[in-house]
Chains A and B, each alone.
Chain A
């Protein structure tokens, strides 16, 4: 049974990693073709750093992800705290509002935002699709996740400590910063990370809301998959992938060491 489940897991991991291996291999292909192997080269890695279009898109994706994460965390954290002190009816209404972008298929969210921007642009000349519209859309689909990751922390928090702080003479704003914020910090950080990764990875909504001047990396990659993906993109993804892998391995290794130490301590105690 044990070996059976091991084999099964290995097969699943093979399934998950096969295309990634293919992609990495073809980043070293001496041809732009995705199907024909013409020999080993590292030239795409060199050319990648000279390709302003790809680098611009990468930078833009990061800027938008960082801004979307910060802004949606601010809005979301405030909203979570506000929702907590609302009456039940209003809160339920707000929560179902919060669920819309999460339950709605992404393509519908993308299309509806695109229509909004088109209508606003045609009637007022404002909000021309571009950097601004992509950022607005990203914040919109990030906020609900931020709220959902902060809400449970607020629920776990003892409500009396905030009041206790005030009873002890702490002004409300300061009590809030000193008592409430540290309590929900883990939720805030989780929410922010989630917003960052969601924004960085988003393709569908960016595709519909980006204009000519703000194509994020996934949008650029999509326009390539409709013809041929430049091996430079494979090279870029390989680099990013290896960095993430490297960091995760280091962190994992440190955790293994830490837990080993803890076990030692326990043994000493025992």
Chain B
């Protein structure tokens, strides 16, 4: 009985979340279902169709970036998890360190690297290749996403992999499994929770970004985030259409994540800092 007494402690939290999470979402729904004069309408939601291309492109680029992060990040996470104490700590530190620098500035610096007369092309010129046109393409946008969100993939993977018992692997080897089989039958299945968390943590911000596409994509291939930003704070303000788009984006992602989170207990997010 003594336990029950404490539940009132969650009241401030409940009130807070109601005010600053539920009600704001309600306001979004309200704006999505009204026109600029405040009259009820489905026009905003029905009009989403014309932005289907933008929505699909965002999901497509976000998915590519997520897959690339997984492919690039997995080996790094694995080798960190197998490293000895000191070098393991150093490598984790090296992965986290760039996060301390403002992400806008880091993305901005990529412009200097990727431009036609940028540092990469100058370097390629020295060895007789190029110049490649990289900036202001979808590729540059994906690169920006991978760059910014790669640590979000590596860290949860790493934290799951360190928990894999060394003896499990040894047991598998003793029982005659070769390297590939150890990976496929032991390491990969045991790192699934990390993969799920990693995918979530990369995919959601990648799909909804507006800064990366603006800086590296030249404002030509707008993503859903760009469009929402433009409708709320940019060159074509319209809260109603913007709300409808936000609503659709949110539902889409919640559906994706609900499927993903079936496998996930949500604890790996803590790995980002600990």
Contact = CB atoms under 8 A, between A and B. Distances in A.
Are both chains from one complex? yes
B41 interface: no
Interface in B122-170: 147, 150-151
A12 interface: yes
B146 to A, nearest CB: 9
A259 B84 CA distance: 12
Contacts of A185: none
Interface string B96-116: 011111111111111111010
Contacts, number: 249
A106 B75 CA distance: 29
B210 A107 contact: yes
Given A20-B106, A241-B100, A148 B24 contact: no
Given A94-B14, A139-B16, A163 B2 contact: yes
B66 to A, nearest CB: 14
Contacts of B181: none
The binding surface of chain B is classed by DSSP as helix
Contact of B101 (A115, A190, A241): A241
B14 A103 contact: no
A81 B25 CA distance: 27
B175 interface: no
B52 interface: no
What size tier do the contact residues of chain B reach?
35 or more
Given A35-B117, A107-B228, A225-B108, A115 B239 contact: yes
A203 B6 contact: no
B28 interface: yes
A218 B104 contact: yes
A101 interface: yes
B76 to A, nearest CB: 5
A97 B104 CA distance: 30
Interface of B: 2-14, 16-18, 20-25, 27-28, 31, 72, 75-76, 79, 85-86, 89-91, 93-95, 97-113, 115, 117-119, 147, 150-151, 200, 204-205, 207-208, 210-211, 214-215, 225, 228-229, 232-233, 239, 242-243, 246, 249-250, 253-254, 257, 261, 266-267, 269-270, 272-274
A107 B105 contact: no
Nearest to A103: B257
A145 B31 CA distance: 29
Given A35-B117, A105-B204, A194 B101 contact: no
Contact of B229 (A20, A85, A97, A107): A107
Interface string A9-32: 100110111111011001000000
Contacts of A34: 108, 111-112
A5 B79 contact: yes
Interface string A193-220: 1100100010110011000000001100
Contacts of A55: none
A19 B111 CA distance: 9
B89 A255 contact: yes
B89 A203 contact: no
Nearest to B257: A103
Contact of A79 (B10, B205, B257, B266): B10
The 5 closest A-B pairs by CB, nearest first: A82-B10, A79-B13, A82-B9, A105-B208, A19-B109
A197 B79 CA distance: 27
A161 interface: no
Interface string A225-252: 1100100011001001100110010001
A217 B100 CA distance: 13
Given A16-B95, A78-B10, A115-B27, A222 B113 contact: no
B273 A193 contact: yes
B28 A23 contact: no
Given A111-B242, A115-B31, A82 B11 contact: yes
A115 B28 contact: yes
A77 to B, nearest CB: 9
Interface in A40-91: 75-76, 78-79, 81-86, 90
A98 interface: yes
B17 A217 contact: no
A237 B105 CA distance: 9
B102 A102 contact: no
Contacts of B228: 107-108, 111
Contact of B98 (A17, A140, A148, A162): A17
Contact of B7 (A26, A82, A193, A207): A82
Interface string A115-141: 110110000000000000000110110
